Amino acid sequence: MKPVIFGLSGPVLTADEAAFFRDADPLGYILFGRNCVDRAQMRALTDSLRDLSGRDDVPILIDQEGGRVARMQPPEWPAFPAGPAFDALYEVAPSSAIEAARANGQALGLMLAEVGVNVNCAPLLDVRMPETTPAVGGRTFGSEPMRVAALGRAMLDGMAKGGVVGVVKHMPGHGRGVVDSHYELPVVDADDAALERDIEPFRTLKDAPMAMTCHVVFKAWDADNPATLSPTVIRDVIRGRIGFDGLLMTDDIDMKALTGTAGEKAAQAIAAGCDVALDCWARMGEMEEIVGRLGDAPPVTLARLQRAMASVRPEAGEMDALIAKREELLALA
Which residues does the annotation mark as catalytic?
182, 251
Quote the CA–CA distance of 21 and 18 in Å, as a whole number: 5
**Region for 54 from its dihedrals, namely left if φ exceeds 0, alpha if ψ lies in -120 to 50, beta otherwise:** left
Q: Amino acid identity of 269?
A: A
Distance CA 169, CA 155 (A): 13
Neighbours of 144 (CB within 10 A): 17
Q: Which residues pair with 278 in a beta bridge?
A: 5, 252
Pairing of strands 69-70, 64-66: antiparallel
